[in-house]
Amino acid sequence: MHIDNGWLQRARRVPSPNQDARPAGEVSLLLLHAISLPPGVFGGEHIERLFTNRLDPQAHPFFATIADLRVSAHLLIRRDGECVQFVPFEARAWHAGRSRWRDGGVERRALNDFALGIELEGDEVSPYTGAQYRVLAAVTRALLDAYPSLDERRITSHARVAPLRKNDPGPAFDWAYFRQEIERIRS
């Protein structure tokens, strides 16, 4: 995988307005999320519509509760491994919300300032697909190579940075397998 000017070359681009400049330009955390819209339903255009402020609140009862959110992520990895990029990696996507991260004993907040957000199409209970793990590992390896301040100790979940508010990617995410796939790419 190759990153050029903040864009993953193999990703389909769907630019989100929900982004801005990083205050310090730092990229030092990779934050993994899970999303399905409506909850528990995979496929379709609803995630892209949410991240581009075009979600129809009438299309599903759940959508009425989230249609006014202004959120995004850098990248979405669909169940079949397709990558959709909404925000260049150098920009700040709006994905972490109220959260905090301990980095070298120092508590940090405003994680969007320095974190990359990757959404996996899924939920907290359904197993993720082999294609998702392979693509996520390849993307992660490309990000580790492109951003020197990012390392494998700085890869975590939304659940770990917002434990009282979020639980994604959830217990269905196999961290050991993911790390094994990263190592396989390295060798």
How far apart CA 159 and CA 167 sit, in angstroms, is 4
Cis before 17? omega within 30: no
Query: Which one of 45, 90, 107, 119 is the catalytic residue?
Result: 119
Q: Which helix (H) or strand (E) holds 12?
A: strand 12-13
CB-based contacts of 154, cutoff 8 Å, min separation 6: 28, 29, 30, 103
CB 183 within 8 Å of CB 144: no
| Closest to 35 (Cα-Cα) out of 177, 155, 140, 166 | 166
Active site residue 119: yes
Residues labelled catalytic: 119
